[in-house]
Amino acid sequence: MLVVATKKEHDKALAARKPDALTVLYFWADWSDECKQMTSVMQVLAKDHSEVAFLTVEAESVDGVADLYPIEEVPAFILLKGSSTKPVDVIVGANPPKLVEAIKKHSVKKTAATKTESKEDINTRLSKLVNAAPVMLFMKGSPENARCKFSKKIVGLLKEEKVIYSYFDILTDEEVRQGLKTFSNWKTFPQLYIKGKLVGGVDVVAAHIEEGEFRDLLPKGSSKDELEDKLKKLIKKGKVMLFMKGEPSNPRCGFSRKIVDILNSTGVSYETFDILTDQEVRQGLKKFSNWPTYPQLYVDANLVGGLDVVTELQEDGDLLDTLQGQ
């Protein structure tokens, strides 16, 4: 991986890329535990994909680079083709399966035979994948577009049980598809893992549900009902509620720092929640609010928006009325 320390180095690296060549820009921060996890994943991916250029950028330290891309939090991955700065894909957050799928989709494999990955490397990669989320499903296709009847059935079962899970499409990666059979000693798909341990395929999951045992296997907070109840309580914690990175006295990203400064200037009291302390809240609130980035500001349990919205309200002279619920 190439460490980019200046915008000049960023521009030079992109200028050297061929038109169809894929570049992955990895934006990170040293205070983020998610970034520490994804740095290890990136190192494995760099070994697996020699045809792809992997560039790492410390988001808050390198001037003029993060501003070129739609980044409001880290870790973030920008996929580019050739020398263009127009993303072909953007992945936000610690989601190894989604990143792997995107790289497979956009990269052009070399025609020459590549060195076969060692068994140790494969097992390391598979171990990271099965632990990528508390509940992890390896299937054919995606939950929205299952590519076999068994995958479709298990997606339906998880939906009925209101389970929060991540997935990996084995059709996008033959090494994972074949390697996982040996790794798990389970020859068919789909395969469901909970806390990194294999539960089984669709028949095993259906049997656990029928016997009333399935929910006992799930980690706390893996039910959508539980998570929604938790989020609703947090949103109502204060009349003005800010979900941010860090605390008002120690914001952990530039966007959170700016919104804190704006709110402090109004003299209105507000409550906060540090999303870096709870990954479940961090990911769940994005879907609950249909707002993919942070910070997020709520008034009377209603979403106002992020930094851009708050800045616009301030410029228009409407922010104080909004915070007071008028």
Decide the pairing of beta strands 191-194 and 135-139: antiparallel
Q: What was the pLDDT predicted at 115?
A: 45
Lookup: tokens for 24 = 């992955």
Q: For residues 323 and 303, what is the distance between their CA atoms, to the nearest angstrom?
A: 11
Global confidence as pTM: 0.47
- Angle, CA 91 vertex, CA 164 and CA 305 arms, to 5°: 75
Backbone angles phi, psi at 69, to 5 degrees: -130, 160
Lookup: tokens for 304 = 């106002």
Backbone angles phi, psi at 318, to 5 degrees: -105, 0
What domains can be seen in the chain, in order of their start residue?
A: 2-106 (3.40.30.10), 119-222 (3.40.30.10), 225-323 (3.40.30.10)
Q: Read off the pLDDT of residues 188-236 as tens digits, 9 standing for 90 and up.
A: 999 999 999 999 999 999 999 999 999 889 887 666 677 788 899 999 9
Output the 3-class SS for 227-296.
HHHHHHHHHCCCCEEEEECEECCEECCHHHHHHHHHHHHHCCCCEEEEHHHCHHHHHHHHHHHCCCCCCE
Average pLDDT value for the chain: 88
- Section 283-312 average pLDDT: 91
